[in-house]
Amino acid sequence: MTAAPPDDLFESHRRFLTRLAYRMLGSVSDAEDIVQDAWLRWHEIDAAEIANPRAYLARTVTRLCLDQMKSARSRREYYVGTWLPEPLVEAIGPAPAADDELDAPIALMLALERLSPLERAAFLLHDVFEQDFAEIARAIDRSESACRQLAKRAREHVRIDMPPRNKVDPAEAKRFVEAFFRAVHKADPSELQTLLARDVALHSDGGGKVPATLNVVFGLDRVSRFFSGIIRKFGGAGAESTLIRPVMINGLPGYLSIEQGGRLQATALDIRDGVVHAIYVMRNPDKLRHLGLQAG
């Protein structure tokens, strides 16, 4: 039992709950709404009677997310083009503290999208947030053995889909990002090609609201020609692009920029062995709304 004030107790777990909800839903705004709903429910009970507040709140948030995912899944069936999660943006700086290392790489979020909601919940609660299967069983109303199987199946899918992680020195990340921004806005693709892996993949999410590729573009030649083609097609569009600043996006080096038409854009780069293996371009304005203040 605990004698700590309910508000203090909840706030001590807010960041954990927001991280859990974001990984379940892929949306910053939805995650914040879920956590606020959990806060309201927390105040409807006697917190002093809760033996394990973290587990109780994780159970509450998980159930709220599962309810929301029922409608979210149906909406995504009709999503226009490639789906990417809302970007988590942080400043490029020193390595994060141990408590901050559980970031949400975009590749992981895409892998999670291919899981069922229950597989996603079991995997995140056990493998990412280290909850035991007894507590997970209470959270998703399944037996412990069923939860173990859900986590196992999810783990196999995620292991197959996830590329190796690679930590990039902050100074090097900033230099690389600035070089990429310059190269990607030139009609001549030769400079950009030196920065790309042969099997590079371009993911672009416009959500049907703004121009973006409908499918993932694969390969050095096709990706470089795609970017140079945009510059040639729109003439001086490259000159209209403004780099706001290099940032970390879901743990990857990237940048915020203003592109043609004054549109805010978030671009993340999966850099391995000195070249870009994946480019994630978020253009959907609905998913960039939470970055408006950060972008200035």
Contact 101, 165 (CB under 8 A): no
Q: Can you name the CATH fold of 6-161? A: Butyryl-CoA Dehydrogenase, subunit A; domain 3 (1.20.140)
Can 6-161 and 170-295 be said to share one CATH topology?
A: no
User: Which residues have C-beta within 8 Å of that of residue 77, sequence separation ≥ 6?
Assistant: none
Angle at 141 between CA 139 and CA 147, to 5 degrees: 80
Instruction: Please list the residues that pair with 246 across neighbouring strands.
Output: 255
At 106 the pLDDT is 92
Cβ atoms 279, 259 nearer than 8 A: no
Contact 263, 257 (CB under 8 A): no
CA distances from 245 to 90, 195, 256 (A): 11, 19, 6
Domain ranges of the chain: 6-161, 170-295
pLDDT range class, residue 70, cuts 50, 70, 90: confident
Give me the mean pLDDT over the 8-30 stretch. Answer: 93
Question: CA-CA distance, 47 to 37, in Å (whole number)?
Answer: 16
- Evaluate if residue 105 carries a pLDDT over 90: no
What confidence score (pLDDT) does residue 104 get? 83
Confidence at residue 7, expressed as pLDDT on a 0 to 100 scale: 86
Written as six digits, the tokens of 235 are 């003439």
* 102 pLDDT higher than 70: no
Higher per-residue confidence, 238 vs 62: 62
Is residue 103 pLDDT above 80, yes or no?
no
170-295 to CATH, choices 3.10.450.50, 3.90.1150.10, 2.60.120.10, 3.40.50.10860: 3.10.450.50
Phi then psi for residue 232, to 5 deg, are: -65, -40
